[in-house]
Amino acid sequence: THTPIEAGPADDELESEGCLSFPGERFALKRGESVIVEGVDLENKPVRIEAEGWFARVFQHEFDHLNGIIYVDKLEFESRKEAFEVMEQLGWNKPGVSWLPGTDNLED
């Protein structure tokens, strides 16, 4: 299980972000400049991590994955539109087509 992370105020600037869920592409996205992550370790002892900058961005990015969100879902309108155009050009919006080697069924 996981609990929400506490994100600080959003960074004033958009920063380029990429992900293997959308390989080879990068888009600008605002994230919190700092985060606090709390949980327990394998021995059920409390853990608290305070992160800033790039490290905070990584926590937010990966936490989104735990909630079924990829970074393109959070893009501002123009960047999101561009991402969907790329997706269409690569055929990722068609059933049975993916970027995973060996999983595409292109014979149909």
Question: Is 5:34 a contact under the CB 8 Å cutoff?
Answer: no
Contact 61, 27 (CB under 8 A): no
Helices and strands, number each (H, E), in the chain: 2, 5
6 labelled catalytic: no
Question: Could you say which of 38, 62, 78, 85 is catalytic?
Answer: 62
Q: Could you give the residue numbers annotated as active site?
A: 62
